[in-house]
Amino acid sequence: MALFLGFVAFHAYIQSKIQVINYWMTIILFSLYIIQFVLFVELFVKTNDGNWQNLLKLEDVDSLNLQITSVKIKIDEEISLKGVIIKGKNVADSKKKQYPGVILHHGFTAKKEKMYEYAFPIALKGYIVLAVDARGHGESRSLYKSAKMDDWYLGDDEGIFPDFNKIVDFFAKNSLVDEERIACKGHSMGGTICLSYGITHPKIKIAIGISALYSFKDFVYNSSNKIPFSLPWLYKTALRVKMSFKKEMAVEEKFSPKFFFQKMDKEKVREKVRLVHTKNDHLVLFQYNFKKMQKDLQLPSHYILTPEKGDHELRGQETLITERILTWLENEL
């Protein structure tokens, strides 16, 4: 009997260990599936974005007759941003002559190099161009390591969006820049900055928003990006890994263009705003962002550009977009 009871106890012990092992194996396998899925989404987004980081480098532009100078923009006692000023080599460093200036702002998770495809042709046309790495992005990360990419708004004078005011003020002090003729152009997050802080800054004459948000709520919470494994859903899932939706929703009125448009005279907004948005943008969806902005502002047709294809990164539309940007700059600056 004792032997039998011992066998039963030993069997129960083994079964309990097997259950524990099965439990932890399930947890491990589930975790691996989650990691695999996250890596898949990351790879999907990177593949769709393209390997633009390695396409244009400063050391490769000598033949373009451009001069590129690194700058540091002081935001406050703790934070500075890194950027570059790009100009044609024929632009003399003389206080007697000033040129129109253009500020280029990259999107979320990107960096200033993403803007070079537009910066170089704009500079070659005689404009002084400033491209900046936002806090938490690019080279600026090394200057303030505690900054996060989703620090969009932390206070009236703190955050990626409020930093734009300091960027404009820094640029306007450049002896070559005519402070009465400054434009800003941004993509995605950067375009959203141009359509909020750009349109309210007195020194910005024209604000060009490319693939820009109308409101953060419409951007992340809509019926189209709720469909599992659809392209909008995949993009939203990848974005959720990088940022806190709750954090941004709590201060949405402080950075979404929708609320800035409401506070300003619509005619003054229309004078400043220019929009570019592809109809098949799977991240910042056309119907929830561009269409709502256009309904709100009623911009004339020559103030907007809406290619049928190109997705969020506007692939294959660079020449068309650059030509339109240069036309807007020439007409307004």
The structural domains of the chain, with segments of one domain joined by +, span 1-49, 56-332
For 111-129, b where at least 16 C-beta lie within 10 A, e where not — what string? bbbbbbbbbbbbbbbebbb
* Sequence-ordered list of residues with C-beta below 8 angstroms from that of 270, at least 6 positions apart, any chain: 297, 298, 299, 300, 303
- pLDDT of 283 reads 93
Q: Say what the pLDDT of residue 19 is.
A: 74
CB atoms within 10 A of CB 249: 14
d(CA 278, CA 285): 9
Fold that domain 56-332 belongs to in CATH: Rossmann fold (3.40.50)
List, run by run, the mean pLDDT of 10-residue segments along the chain (333 residues): 59 68 76 65 57 57 82 93 92 74 96 92 95 96 91 94 97 94 97 97 97 95 86 86 92 96 94 97 96 96 96 92 97 94
Q: Backbone dihedral region of 100: left (phi > 0), alpha (psi from -120 to 50 degrees) or beta?
A: beta
| Buried-state track 265-294, b at ≥16 Cβ within 10 A, e below 16 | eeeebeebbbbbbbeebbbbbbebbbebbb
Element containing residue 9 per DSSP (H, E): helix 2-49
Q: Give the pLDDT confidence score for residue 332 in this predicted structure.
A: 94
Which pLDDT score, from 0 to 100, does residue 22 have? 74
Q: Quick one: pLDDT at residue 6? A: 60
DSSP state, 204? E
Q: pLDDT value at position 182?
A: 98
238 phi and psi angles, rounded to 5 deg: -65, -40
